[in-house]
Each structure stands twice: as C-alpha cells, then as structure tokens.
A and B are shown apart, each in its own frame.
Chain A
Amino acid sequence: MSTAVSGTTSPNDPLLAPRVHEVTAMIDEIPDVVTIRCAPIDGPPSPFQAGQIGMVGAFGVGEAAISISSPVSEPRFHEYTIRRAGSITTALTRMRPGDQFWVRGPFGKPWNLDLDGRDILIAAGGIGLAPLRSAVYEVLKHRERYGDVTLVVGARSSALLLYSNEYEMWREHGLAVFDTIDEPEPGWSGRVGFVNEAVAALDVAGPATSALMCGPDIMMELTAQRLISADVSPDHIQLTLERNMQCGNGLCGHCQLGPLIICRDGPVVRYPSVAESLMVKEL
C-alpha cells in the first residue's frame, strides 16, 4: 500500500522547485534557432549527463522540454538550443542577456557513452544535432577510449546546418564530420542527399559500431534500417525522441509512445524499444 512520507514538499523537489536562471548570452544559430547560454542565480549549474533534458520555462507562459547542448564538463553555464515554434519557445528565444527564466531538471535517460573500443557513428538531422552536441563534446574529451568517431549531419540547406562553425574544431579533435544538404545549391560543393544516404556511403564497420541518432522520425527510421543492413546491432542504435512533455517525471502522461513514457524511459532509448511504435502513424 502507500508508503508514508512527510506531508510537506521538499523545496528541492525537482517536480516543483525550478531553479531561476539568468541568460548570459543569446547566440543566433540558424534562422529561427537560438542558443541560450545561462546559469542559475543561486549557484553552479546542476550536474547532468549528455542527452538529458531540462524543463525550460518562460515567466507566465510555460515550459518546454529542451536538451542541454553544452559540454557536460563545462562548469560555468548550460546551453539550450531552441527553435522558435509556439508561444513558449518564442518567449524563450526572445530573451536578452540578463533576463531570467526557470529550469527544472535535468531529467531523463542520457546517451550511453560506455562504448570503449567501439566505433561511434553520430547521425543528426536538422536541429537534431542539438541533443547530440553534449555527447559530441563528451566523446571528444575522451577520444582515446573510442575507435573511429564519425558525425553525419544533414539539413535542408547549408544555411540550416546547425553549429557549422564548430565542425572544423571537431575535426581537429578527431571527429570525422560529414555534412550533407537535401538539395544542390549554388556555391555548395559538399555532399547532397539525406542523412541515411550519407550514412550508406560510409564504410561502416557494422558489428563494431554504435550509433547515436536524432532527427525527424523518418530520418531516424531510414538511418536505423541502413545501419542494421550494414550489420550494426539494433541494440547498439540509440536515439532520442521528442514528444509533448509537461512534467518531466513520468507523472502527467503526455509524452507516451506506446509502452514508453519518453521523459521517464527516455528521451534516449534503444532502437528496438521503439522500432514498432515509430512505424505507427499518430501513435
């Protein structure tokens, strides 16, 4: 039956107690996408693991679940990369340095980066690179632990390649970056095609490879199929999912995907746990 606990809430309960943060910088990324660099006003940023989400809230407007995109090892601030879509993200992306907002969390299951000795393939579509960026930095920090580490990032056009000013630095630190755009465009001499096509062009060492993915459901589905046909174990494909999240603690029901409650069982999940669900429209 019930477990008796104190009748009063702890002020530290993450469900209730947001930490007020202050914007230290607003960084324009690609059109309609802004990175908020921020720190709590009451102490150092909360520790987190790559892939975890914060419930990021604008005063009187509401919250959105946003992945923390900054390096795990960065002690001074967190970064949230946000696309302007509805009223909440519009309010958040309009903030200026010095403005305050709140964050609850971090919540959810992170990327599993205990992949010593394995090749890592990171596949990102569009703004899907944001939840992967902290993993990129974590992998590069411990680069010697892994075999080949490759990033395939795709966008509709070159102007929509997220964090593109960081690719060169990532390459210098041992990440093979393959960027690709959907349609040819003047002045672009790089790859053209979808992420799954760019992945298909790689020489993936199947059984030794672990994949991390984020992007539109269809991109992840096609990329996963491509990887599996290259002998990557489905269990070694991790992906992160976006659904409507209200509580971040598995209490409110909104972010269900079939058997999963994404904020509790994810956002990072292994491909086999969602392979069937992703095939069902409107599940």
Chain B
Amino acid sequence: MTLAQRWAGVDPGSVSSEPAAEWWLMRAGDLHRLVSLLTVEFDEVFGPVAVDGVIRVRQIHSLADLPIGVTEEQETASYRLHETGTALRFSYGLGPDSLKSIVHPPRSPVWTMRRQDGSLVVDPALHGTTTRAVIGARACDIRALEILERTQTGGPHADPAFTARRSELFVVAIDCTHPAPTCFCKTAGQGPAADQGFDLAVTELDDPNGVVYLVRAGTDRGRSMMFALHLGYAPPRQIERRTRALEEANRDFIRELPNDASDVVRQTDHPQWEVVAERCLTCGNCTAVCPTCFCTDMEDRVGLDGETATRTRVWDTCFSQEYSHLGPGPHRASTAARYRQWLSHKLGTWHDQFGESGCVGCGRCITWCPVGIDLTAEIESLSLDPLSRPSEEMP
C-alpha cells in the first residue's frame, strides 16, 4: 500500500483558521525530501518552474525542477526574470499561472460520441483517481481556489471534473515574502501569508547558515507528512524572523482595491467604459491569467471519418465576440460592453451570483495586459463623477 492509498481514506479534517501549534524547521535537504515524498505519494506534483523566461506552474519530478536564485520584476505589461545568486527558491512574485490550471485546466475532455450500428453512442470522459499535489501556492491563489470552487460546485450540478481534481489536491503553500508591485492582496483578499486552505504552509527565510524553511500544518494529512519526515521543531527566534519578514512584505502595497469597488463598477453608463475601450485589445490575456475567471466553451469536433466526435471543455473569454453570440450576432459587440462585462462581473455581480468578490488582488491582469490596463486605475477613474472631470481641451 502506498502512502497515497493510505491517505485516501484519511479525513482531511477541518481547516483551522489558526496556524497549527507545531512549527517545523526544514533546510534545503529537508525540502528536497519533502518534494521527493510528494512525488512518491502523489501521481502528479506541480510546482514553480522557470521556462521561457517566466515562472510557470508545471509538473515537477524533484526539487531540482524548481528555480533557484531567481527573482522577477513586474509592472504593468512587463515581467522579467533576474538571477540573484542566492539559494532562495521562492523569492519572487506571482507568475501567470495559478491553481486554476491544475483544477480547471485549459482543455478538459467531456465525451466522445460515435456512430455504431446506426446509432449514436456516448462515452463520457471518466475523471479518474489521479492524486495531485502542488507546492508553491500563494495565499491569494488559495483564496482564488475557494472562489473558483464555488463557481464550479456551488450550483445545481457540480462539475465532476473539477470536483475530482480539487477534492484531494494536497496544497503546500508558500508565504509570500516578495509581493510584486502589481499585487494588492492586502485590500482584496488573503495574504501575503496563507492562513487557511493548505495542508502545509512554508515560509522561506535567508539565514547566515543557509536558507531555512519554517513549516506549519493545516490538516491532519499535512501533519502526518511532517511526522513522516522526522523534522525538528523551529526555534522561537526563527518564528520571530518570519513574523518580521511578513510584516515587511505586508507593508508597502502601492495598489489597492477600494471598499466601494462593487458599487463603482455597476455604473453601466459611465463614460470611462468607452475610454478604456480605446486601449483594450480584447485579447483575453486578463481572463486567462485570472485565477478565478472560470468561463468555458464547449468545443465539438468531428473526426475526418465523420464517425466520431469529441467534446472538450475549453477556456473561453468574455472578451471575444463569440462569447455572447446569439442568433443575430454578438450580444456584446462593442469593446466597451465586453470590458464592462469583465470588470463589473469580477468586482460587482460576482457578489450577486456567488456571494463574494471574484478578485483576490493577485495583480496578474495588470502585469499581463499587453497595453498595461490596470484595473485599480480603472476603478479610480470609474469613481470620479463623470460630470466633474476636467475637460481634456482645457489648458
């Protein structure tokens, strides 16, 4: 029996909002052992990987797959990786991928349909028992996972594919000690430290004697894993250093989400929608990188022999015209209407539909917008009374 089989029956337990009493200390070698254990116990392990000059979330097979000594600079429409020469493995802000790509992948098979003996036969895609773990999840993305989960499982029919991928996901969180300038989790969500929704949470600290990792467990199965690694507890001095590091990280957020954002975005006739539409390319980058944007399309493709057809659920974007297509044509033909749909849904009507905001303040849509549209700036503009705005013609 593998440990994964053993754990399959273990109640994940209630997730405590308080950190567990135990704080374990890991060094790089212990982190290596943790990742190795994950790869043994779970069918698929995901983590940060530097590819094509970007830190992505990809399947990993050992600690060596993770970046080391790199950090990133990001701002509106800009993201660059740099070597730092340190031994730190998590000292960078968010890349474009969130946990969405694991639990709600860009393409998900739904069924295959075939003609057989004059009749149509449907073979639904089965969502197997593949077990998955992820290391490196940030607090904002854990919060986003809960929001995404509500959209996909909170209605009359839960999506079984999502449920299968989500329910047993083992989450190793990394406390965010290097928020990017584009982030605003402090006013939008949870962070920079993870306080719930994880099996294990790790803080990485530079130390004169080498990098140390402080670990706490959020669930019984996380705790079991710590015991399996025979780790020692962390000294109070390291826990104090962690507190200071997180206070530092939590200090300087340039951007913020105002409390009245959900009202501001509901002004359907505000002239700012037309203003932002002059810049928006309707490319859909923002919805692709958003950790909560869940929209999908059903893609039906028929084989060349005409005898089989496959249906795949694929990511879609409310920025495409096809998204709102109805008999006569697109319902939201203009860019302004499509940008308004995105922002007013994310921050406004999401509350009506799912009882919360759809934004966690990760800032990805700001970094990855090719023309540098910043939703916090848009909210600021939408907050201005259109009648009191100074005319552009005035000197």
B110 contacts A by Cβ under 8 Å: yes
Is B73 on the interface with A (CB-CB < 8 A)?
no
Check B353–A60 contact: CB distance below 8 A.
no
Do A282 and B334 have beta carbons less than 8 Å apart?
A: yes
| Smallest Cβ-Cβ distance to A58: which chain B residue | B300
* Complex contact B316–A41 (CB within 8 A): no
Instruction: Say yes or no: A20 contacts B166, CB within 8 Å.
Output: no
Q: Is the CB of A7 within 8 A of B168?
A: yes
CB of A249 within 8 A of CB of B155, answer yes
Is B248 part of the binding interface, using a Cβ–Cβ cutoff of 8 Å?
Answer: no
**B151 pairs with A251, CB closer than 8 A:** yes
Q: Contact check, B341 vs A256: say whether CB atoms are below 8 A apart.
A: yes
Does A253 contact B295, Cβ atoms closer than 8 Å?
yes
Asked if A256 contacts B166 (CB within 8 A), the reply is: no
Chain B residues 333-377 with CB under 8 Å of chain A are 333-334, 337, 341, 345, 349, 352-353
Asked whether A282 lies within 8 Å of B331 as measured between CB atoms, the reply is: yes
B301 touching A8, Cβ below 8 Å? no
A107 / chain B contacts, CB cutoff of 8 Å? 156
Residues of A within 8 A of B253 (CB): none
Contact A7 B128 (CB under 8 A): yes
Give the docked Cα–Cα distance between A83 and B328 (Å).
Answer: 11
| Bound complex: CA A244 to CA B328 (Å) | 11
1/0 contact string of A11-30 vs chain B (CB within 8 Å): 10111111010000000000
Tell me which residues across on chain B come within 8 A of A249, comparing CB atoms.
155-157, 159
Contact in complex: B341, A4 (CB < 8 Å): no
Question: Please, which residues of chain B bring their CB within 8 A of the CB of A17?
Answer: 111, 122, 124
- Asked if A258 and B349 make an inter-chain contact with CB atoms under 8 angstroms apart, the answer reads yes
A residues 70-111 in Cβ contact with B at 8 Å = 83, 85-86, 89, 100-102, 107
A86 to chain B, nearest CB (A): 7
Alpha-carbon distance A101/B324, docked complex (angstroms): 24
Q: Are A59 and B309 touching (Cβ within 8 A)?
A: yes
Q: Does B55 contact A (CB under 8 A)?
A: no
CA distance A61 to B310 in the complex (A): 10
A60 adjacent to B302 (CB under 8 Å): yes
When each residue 315-329 of chain B gets 1 if its CB lies under 8 Å from chain A and 0 otherwise, what string results?
A: 010100001111110
Interface residues on chain B, size class: 35 or more
Rounded to whole angstroms, the CA-CA distance of A201 and B313 in the bound complex is 49
Over the window 47-68 of chain A, the binary record of Cβ atoms lying under 8 Å from chain B Cβ atoms (1 yes, 0 no) is 0000000000101111100000
Q: What are the residues of chain B within 8 A of A233 when measuring CB–CB? A: none
Distance in angstroms between the alpha carbons of A62 and B310 in the assembled complex: 10
Q: Which residues of A contact B269 (CB under 8 A)?
A: 280
Out of A247, A254, A260, A283, which one reaches B268, CB within 8 Å? A283
Question: Which of chain B's residues have a CB closer than 8 A to the CB of A246?
Answer: 296-298, 316
Contact B294 A283 (CB under 8 A): no
Minimum C-beta distance from B99 to chain A (A): 12
CB distance from B243 to the nearest CB of A (A): 26
**Is chain A's interface secondary structure helix, strand, loop, or mixed overall?**
loop
* B160 touching A10, Cβ below 8 Å: yes
Closest to A246 in B: B298
Task: Report which of A60, A101, A260, A261 forms a contact with B301, defined as CB distance below 8 A.
Answer: A60
Q: Which residue of A lies closest to B165 (CB)?
A: A7
Chain A minimum-CB-distance residue to B158:
A5
Within 8 Å of chain B (Cβ to Cβ): is A264?
yes
- When distances are taken between beta carbons in the complex, the residues of chain A under 8 Å from B81 are none
1/0 contact string of B51-70 vs chain A (CB within 8 Å): 00000000000000000000
How far is B297's CA from A41's CA once the two chains are assembled, in angstroms? 27
Give complex CA distance A14, B149 in Å.
19
Q: A242-B326, A282-B332 are in contact. Are A7 and B120 (CB under 8 A)?
A: no
- 8 Å CB contacts to A: which residues of B291-315? 294-298, 300-302, 306, 309, 313
A202 touches B (CB below 8 Å): no
A184 at the interface (CB under 8 A from B): no
A7 to B166, CA, bound (A): 10
Bound complex: CA A63 to CA B323 (Å): 14
B357–chain A nearest beta-carbon distance, Å: 14
Q: Establish whether residues A15 and B159, one from each chain, have CB atoms under 8 Å apart when the complex forms.
A: yes
* Smallest beta-carbon distance B9→chain A, Å: 11
Is B259's CB within 8 Å of the partner chain A? no
The residues of B that contact A283 with a CB separation of less than 8 Å are: 268, 337, 341
Enumerate 12 A-B pairs (CB-CB under 8 Å) in ascending A order. Answer: A1-B146, A1-B197, A2-B167, A4-B12, A8-B126, A11-B124, A62-B300, A247-B296, A251-B159, A254-B316, A259-B353, A280-B268
Sample of 8 further A-B pairs with CB below 8 A, known A85-B327, A252-B313, A282-B334: A2-B153, A4-B12, A4-B168, A7-B129, A86-B325, A107-B156, A243-B324, A282-B333
* Chain A residues close to B by CB (< 8 Å): 1-5, 7-11, 13-18, 20, 41, 57, 59-63, 83, 85-86, 89, 100-102, 107, 242-244, 246-247, 249-254, 256, 258-261, 264, 280-283
State the 5 A-B residue pairs at the shortest beta-carbon distance, nearest first.
Answer: A60-B302, A259-B352, A253-B295, A282-B337, A60-B309
